[in-house]
A and B are shown apart, each in its own frame.
Chain A
Amino acid sequence: MEPLLEARDLWKIYPNGVEANRGVNIALHPGTVYALLGENGAGKTTLVKILSGAEKPTRGEVRLNGAPAPATPRQAHQAGVYMVPQHPTLFPNLTVLEDVGLTLRMAGARLGRAGVRRLIEEASAGYGLAVDPDARVEGLSVGERQRVEVLKGVLVGRKVLFLDEPSTHMSPSEVGSLVALARRLAREGRAVFYITHRIREALDVADKILIMRRGRLEAELDRGEASKERILAAMFGRIPEKPQPVATRPGGEVLRAEDLWVPSPHGGWALRGVSLTVRAGEILGVAGIAGNGQKELVEAIIGLARPRRGRILINGVDVSSLAPRARMRMGLAVVPEERLGWAVAPGLSIWLNTALPLLARNGARLLLRRGRAKGIASRVVELAGVRARSLDQPVETLSGGNIQRLVVGRELEAGPHVVVAMNPAAGLDYSGASMVESMLLKAAARGAGVLLVDEDLELLARVSSRIVVLSRGVLTGEFTPPYDVDAIGRAMTMR
């Protein structure tokens, strides 16, 4: 059968010399779901950008139905090729109808508002993607925005639909329906291309699993012959070690939150009376779908948001009225969700980014002793296994995984009593995520209490001593190992 979309000997070499794609051959057939797996930096995103017309290859060409493929996203949309981005790029100040209409019109549809509404309602009902056309985007949760993006994919990607890590902001049951949707769209005759770093999901969704490594397509496995072990071997060249949970006996209480009430920026309450305790040596996992109060919980504990009611104690001391820095001096370490700008300052060197926060914790000094600061930085860099050319290079030139190693390593260097981490492994590849997991486990083994707020239930189940579930601003369940993942998933959607 003739392929729908075909690429031969694709090369992409960026001006800085990075060879993102090195001779990729690929052919997508209608009626098939492809899953693309690979580490961060393997070249997945570059490949998809080229295939969907968002970037031009340095060499090689892409053909759609035997003709040269569209060279811009707009042409691609007109030809029925659409990419659902990993992070929704909707316009917050528009309504869903306006945003979807903009995309449809760019794709060549001559529609009025009523026509757009009808299409949204049809696709919404037909494919089980509940969206409110008149809702303003900025009032939607990230998960709802992603649903709108998928809906646009259904409407515009009539021939080839690319989904870039579409499950990033979804609950397990939502991922289940997304997988079903992808398979149904393929049955209806489209080629569906599903990018993910979750092996389980790839096995569920795909007819063919493609594995990328260092810019090349390393393996192409059919549904029947793929297994987790074969995939891992192709992704890494070997089967990487899994972090082993460390058995510890929890000690005294190091963090206590009592009856926290935090208002939501959208009106109402983001947290409605949340109480929890973390003891030394344990990891308390907080599960939940993004937008259910996780951010506010973390902000309240580290001191960025002031709860209307309730209090927070670190080592038995009420810190509710203290600034973040004062809390850090009392033994609080923070691994925030956003790395750049929150955990590290882009533009500054690795050594400044490592040593300054540590030195600041011991009280501000007038003069910065460069030698001492660099000494601290080089120790952290070495212990955390950060791959850097030099301590002087700007921190943002490190890969995401290396930045996170640096952040976690730095925070643990201070010997904290309490570690608060939010989605610390998000966006990292398998080896980076394993590293972060084992560092958190090590911190707990050394006697810190860890509060791990994460959307990845599998990760939580691997490392947590206990798991609580946050849903709509209240804790809806507490679980102990062995974990019943289905029950946790149900608690995540409880009201």
Chain B
Amino acid sequence: MADLHGIVVAALANTVPLALAGLGEALLERSGRVNLGVEGLMAVGAAVGVLAGIHLGNPYPALVIGGLAAALLSLLYVIPVIVLGADQIVAGLALFFAGTALADLAGAATGGAPAPPLVGSPWDPVAASTLALVVASTLLLYRSWLGVEIRAVGESMEHAQARGLRVAQIQGGLAIAAAFLAGVAGAYMALALHNGRWYSGITAGWGWIALGLVILGYWSPPGVLLASLLAGALLSSRTLLAAHGVNEAIADMAPYLAVLASLLVMSLVAGRRARPPSMVWRRE
């Protein structure tokens, strides 16, 4: 029973960073832009977060500082893509590589020392804030005029421009906000899931998973939260399966197969109302 309780707690703790990163990216993609650099942003958030935690001795401001570092780094995406019109796919990939390298640079400065860890409980303030963010961004997207503007921009940048909407400000603002959330997610991974210790590759591809969760959650905040819960549970079940003597390789595979299956189910269940924004993934 203690085993099961541990797994549920781990699953919920896993959900927090996935949901934070996925939520930001979902909002950005609703405005018609994709940032493939989420993994790089999370890596920087993790390294800078641990570094800040060591210096400040308190994990909460460290989370914020990790987020701010990622937001700063996202200018490498915002300026070329949104201001200068460069290709968003190339810029996103560049951001991933740059972020990973910068994270190793910053992380090396920790010298392997731990920061004061966050206690990874589902009732911690970060988890509560994540839930509040889901509610707030749902209201923002579907009940506010700013949300209408975001969705309009994501449908046709050209028509939005012609109507006088501030396309660049909307997309740029969301890209920076999304990067902040990704940075917080990365810092949370290090401070809560890994007891405040940094090591190279600590984000373990979860930034890429978050990109997939946006699709699985059909670009809607509650959808992303559900998808993150599912992925969080699956990622922790891997340990359980392996512990029960299931073949390692199959245990490794299981989360991904389950994601594929749920993607299929979601696309059958979701009506046309839930279709993706039409500008997303478009390269002009």
Interface residues of A (CB under 8 A from B): 54, 72-74, 77, 89, 91-94, 98-99, 101-103, 105-106, 136, 138
Contact = CB atoms under 8 A, between A and B. Distances in A.
A74 B159 CA distance: 13
A94 B159 contact: no
B148 A94 contact: yes
A102 B150 CA distance: 11
Nearest to A74: B164
A77 B163 CA distance: 9
B164 A91 contact: no
Contacts of A101: 145, 148
Interface in B63-103: none
Contacts of A93: 151-152, 154-155, 275, 277-278
Interface string B153-196: 01110011011110000000000000000000000000000000
B104 interface: no
A93 B141 CA distance: 12
Given A93-B275, A93-B277, A94-B155, A102 B162 contact: no
A246 to B, nearest CB: 44
Interface residues of B, number: 19
B244 interface: no
Contact of A102 (B148, B154, B277): B148
Q: Which of B151, B154, B163 has the most CB of A within 10 A?
A: B163
A106 B145 CA distance: 11
A301 to B, nearest CB: 27
Contact of A89 (B148, B151, B162, B273): B162
17 contacts: A54-B162, A73-B164, A77-B164, A89-B156, A89-B159, A91-B152, A91-B156, A91-B159, A91-B160, A93-B277, A94-B155, A101-B148, A102-B145, A102-B152, A102-B165, A106-B163, A106-B165
A106 B154 CA distance: 17
B163 A103 contact: yes
A148 to B, nearest CB: 14
Contacts of B277: 93
Query: Which 4 interchain pairs have the tightest Cβ spacing?
Result: A74-B164, A91-B155, A91-B152, A98-B148
A74 B161 CA distance: 10
B220 to A, nearest CB: 12
Given A91-B155, A93-B278, A94-B155, A106 B164 contact: yes
Given A89-B159, A93-B278, A72 B164 contact: yes
B252 interface: no
Nearest to A98: B148
A contact face: mostly helix, strand, loop, or mixed: helix
Contacts of B152: 91, 93-94, 98-99, 102
Name which of B149, B156, B164 has the most chain A CB atoms within 10 A of its CB.
Answer: B164
Contacts of B159: 89, 91
A92 B273 CA distance: 11
Nearest to B273: A136
B273 to A, nearest CB: 7
Given A101-B145, A102-B145, A94 B151 contact: yes
Nearest to A105: B145
A98 B272 CA distance: 18
Interface in B264-278: 272-273, 275, 277-278
Given A92-B278, A93-B275, A105-B145, A73 B162 contact: yes
Contact of A92 (B148, B155, B165): B155
A102 B275 contact: no
A105 B148 CA distance: 11
Given A92-B278, A93-B278, A102-B165, 12 more contacts: A73-B163, A89-B162, A91-B156, A93-B152, A93-B155, A93-B277, A94-B152, A99-B152, A101-B148, A102-B145, A102-B163, A106-B165
Interface in B132-154: 145, 148-149, 151-152, 154
Contacts of A73: 162-164
Contacts of A102: 145, 148-149, 152, 163, 165
A138 B145 CA distance: 19
Nearest to B272: A138
Contacts of A106: 163-165
B163 to A, nearest CB: 6
Interface string B209-248: 0000000000000000000000000000000000000000
Contacts of B163: 73-74, 102-103, 106
A92 B151 CA distance: 10
Interface string B243-266: 000000000000000000000000
A102 B167 CA distance: 13
B14 to A, nearest CB: 32
Contacts of B151: 91, 93-94, 98
Nearest to B163: A106
Contacts of A136: 273
A77 B164 CA distance: 10
A74 B164 CA distance: 5
Nearest to B145: A105
